[in-house]
């Protein structure tokens, strides 16, 4: 039998910010959950488009030509090659869809890089 | 500038059931929204894994070895080749994530097949 995934239950088991966990895989893509608080690093992904679906809180996605405020129940797709910086004044909980192997920090050098995110069973 | 997508706003503009609309594209995958009510047809997808994220209502996904009840804030991934039948006693609103070109009815012959789903701008 197939198992469903409850987003709140899984999110409650994530202990730290800026560290995505994998909760699903399909067609070479990963579904990840992540808690964000503060300012991330400017970066882009050379080969990967990235979807940010906000579950709780407000995510400000800074882009070189402006910023988008993403509220719960809204998503933004950042195409490959587009520089972006996620900023969360208060904690935000986000679902990510992106190709397996996508680095959270893209082309940036940053101590928050998670080279090999864990599955959250 | 990139545009965000509000799921409730888009869903409110879908006039009919069983007819998925495309609201996003990334990495060769489509994000679709669909309203479901009643019983769909048993089918499988030969080449595509399919993710069902429930936004409103309860979706019962019937499988040959049982059924999974999916509530709002939960998702189920149905791997390629696995026969399934979505059933919604009351209306359910669902976000789908699947490869571009995935047929809603898979390998089944059914009048509800949507060969070329529209973008919902």
* CATH number of the domain encompassing residue A24: 2.60.120.10
Q: pTM, whole model, 2 decimals?
A: 0.97
- The count of structural domains within chain A is 1
Start-to-end CA span in chain B (Å):
16
Task: Report yes or no: B61 and B94 within 8 Å, Cβ to Cβ.
Answer: no
| Average pLDDT over all residues of chain B | 97
pLDDT digits (tens, 9 = 90+) for A47-104: 999 999 999 999 999 999 999 999 999 999 999 999 999 999 999 999 999 999 999 9
Average pLDDT over residues B47-66: 98
Structural domain contains residue A11: no
Option in B4, B50, B75 nearest A4 (CB): B75
Q: How far apart are CA B120 and CA A43, in angstroms?
A: 30
Compute CA distances B100 → A24, B27, B41, whole Å: 19, 9, 21
Structural domain contains residue A29: yes
Option in A31, A68, A77 nearest B24 (CB): A77
Structural domain contains residue A1: no
Quick count: other Cβ atoms within 10 Å of Cβ A87? 18
Q: Token pair 């409650």 is at which residue?
A: A12
pLDDT(B85) > 90: yes
Cβ of B73 within 8 Å of Cβ of A48? The answer is no
What pLDDT, on a 0 to 100 scale, did the predictor assign at position B109?
Answer: 85
Q: How far is B74 from chain A (nearest CA, A)?
A: 4
Quick count: other Cβ atoms within 10 Å of Cβ B18? 20
- Residue A83 burial (10 A CB sphere; 0-12, 13-18, 19+): middle
Quick count: other Cβ atoms within 10 Å of Cβ B44? 17
- CA-angle at B56, arms to A35 and A36, nearest 5°: 5
Q: Looking at the complex, does the CB of residue A72 fall below 8 Å from at least one CB of chain B?
A: no
Task: Report yes or no: B23 and B55 within 8 Å, Cβ to Cβ.
Answer: no
- A77: domain range? 20-99
The region of weakest confidence among A14-28, A73-87, B39-53, B105-119 is B105-119
Structural domain contains residue B75: yes
Structural domain contains residue B76: yes
Find which of A28, A29, A101 to mutate to test the B interface (most B CBs within 10 Å of its CB): A29
Q: How far apart are CA B66 and CA A90, in angstroms?
A: 42
Greatest Cα-to-Cα distance within chain A, rounded to the nearest angstrom? 47
Option in B3, B61, B73 nearest A7 (CB): B73
Q: How far apart are CA B11 and CA B8, in angstroms?
A: 5
What pLDDT, on a 0 to 100 scale, did the predictor assign at position B91?
Answer: 98
Structural domain contains residue A38: yes
pLDDT(A109) > 90: no
Contacts of B77 in chain A (CB under 8 A): 2, 24-26
| Average pLDDT over all residues of chain A | 96
Cβ of B29 within 8 Å of Cβ of A97? The answer is yes
pLDDT digits (tens, 9 = 90+) for A27-48: 999 999 999 999 999 999 999 9
Phi, psi of B11 (to 5 degrees): -60, -35
Structural domain contains residue B28: yes
Q: Looking at the complex, does the CB of residue A92 fall below 8 Å from at least one CB of chain B?
A: no
Average pLDDT over residues B84-88: 98
Cβ of B51 within 8 Å of Cβ of A1? The answer is no
What pLDDT, on a 0 to 100 scale, did the predictor assign at position B121?
Answer: 85
Structural domain contains residue B21: yes
């Amino acid at each position: 039998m197939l198992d469903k995934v409850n987003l709140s239950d899984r999110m409650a088991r994530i202990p730290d910010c800026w560290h995505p966990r994998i909760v699903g895989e399909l067609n070479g893509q990963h579904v990840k959950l992540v808690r964000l608080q503060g300012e991330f690093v400017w970066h882009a992904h050379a080969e990967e488009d990235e979807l940010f679906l906000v579950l709780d809180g407000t995510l400000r996605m800074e882009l070189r030509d402006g910023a988008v405020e993403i509220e719960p129940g809204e998503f933004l797709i950042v195409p490959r090659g587009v520089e972006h910086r996620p900023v969360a004044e208060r904690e935000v909980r986000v679902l990510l869809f992106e190709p397996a192997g996508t680095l959270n920090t893209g082309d940036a050098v940053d101590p928050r890089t998670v080279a090999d995110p864990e599955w959250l069973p």
